[in-house]
Structure 1
Amino acid sequence: NTDPSAPIFEAAHFGSTEDMLDVMEVLTEKVREAKGG
């Protein structure tokens, strides 16, 4: 969702208006670093 005012953000514990693939790329990298690999 690219609308920061969307109703889903009122209920969500985490929200992002960024491209999911960009977020997942960085998240995957950070998890691998944290796991030591």
Structure 2
Amino acid sequence: MQFKDTFVVVLTLLGAAALGVALPSVGEPPFPEIRSG
């Protein structure tokens, strides 16, 4: 198994989620489905 690839995927998902949570007032996120709340 290539842990590096998995780490990159997880890091990307965490980064996208962090941006969506840290910048909620800027406007709708590029991936609206993330904010199902």
Class of the TM-score when normalised by the shorter of the 2 chains? 0.3 to 0.5
TM-score (norm 2): 0.48
More helix by percentage: 2
Larger radius of gyration, structure 1 or 2?
1
